[in-house]
Amino acid sequence: MAPEDLRKLGIEWLKNERLLGVESLEVEEEPEMLKRVQHDSGVQHDSGVQYDSGVQYDSGVQYDSGRKRSKEEGLAAPSSPTTTPLLHSKKEKELFLYYESIKNCQKCPLSETRNHLVFGEGNSDAELVFIGEAPGRNEDLEGRPFIGEAGKLLTKFVEFIGLTRDDIYITNIVKCRPPGNRDPLPEEINKCRPYLEEQLKIIKPKILCCLGRWATYTLLGIKGSFSQIRGKIYPAPTHMGGINEEQSMKIIPTYHPAALLYHPGWKEKVKEDLILVKECLQSRT
């Protein structure tokens, strides 16, 4: 890249940082910083996508500067909090920009008590997305989904179907921790739901595996006995988009991993559901 272009890129980046509320920067040694700018200059935001926050990302490079973030700003969700994310695919870039546009969300009171908005993480090209309820304490502290005890069990779910966490995407219905891990309130779910729907429009997975009642009731728009609802295949509502023009995403609900901590006997049911997920992933329809 020509030095003049690099300079313009740097100025653009600084403007964006200021728009995001940064007053001062911790500056790294120059060569490393330049390397990073050059690396990121490969990022093209060609769509001029207008995201929820009203921020238009139409030209510049958005990336984590490596500075320490304040509690309010949150972490760079799709990647490690303190390093520049390596944004390889178009979907990864779109997810990252979307995260940047919502990470300071204040649409509901959960923003007042959270440490981090937990956006989600994993493979932006995943065919399978696991959707939980809301971040817990560990997730809120680290800005990453399912990293506590329930997360360890979720990793086992994933491995049971022959995949790793790098193959799938993981997120929640509600992105901020409800105090004391209480159930999310309907108004919190309603405010947060568009974020999940936008993530799914970017990823376009084949299957959504809803973990527990809240994710399932929210996405299917139905209520009832969860033991009757789980373990079946449902088409995702049409407004959520599909894998392509013809095919809708499929929803398969199963028990939340945290529920297995209290009801180990439900493990066999979860295995049945996961086998269904696997068969569905392997089928062409």
Please report, as ranges, the residues that interact with ligand URA according to CB under 6 A: 132-136, 139, 145-146, 150, 172, 258
CA–CA distance, 75 with 116 (Å, rounded to integer): 7
Closer of 207 and 258 to ligand URA (Cβ): 258
CA–CA distance, 152 with 148 (Å, rounded to integer): 6
Closer of 9 and 128 to ligand URA (Cβ): 128
Alpha helices in 90-245 (DSSP H): 90-102, 110-113, 137-142, 149-160, 186-203, 213-220, 226-229
Closer of 136 and 205 to ligand URA (Cβ): 136
Closer of 124 and 172 to ligand URA (Cβ): 172
CA–CA distance, 23 with 65 (Å, rounded to integer): 13
Torsion of Cα atoms, 56 then 60 then 64 then 68, to 10°: -80
CA–CA distance, 283 with 195 (Å, rounded to integer): 29
- The residue of the chain with the least Cβ separation from ligand URA equals 132
According to DSSP, the residues that pair with 234 across neighbouring strands are: 251
Minimum CB distance to ligand URA, residue 41 (Å): 34
Question: What φ, ψ does residue 45 adopt, rounded to 5°?
Answer: -105, 80
Minimum CB distance to ligand URA, residue 258 (Å): 6
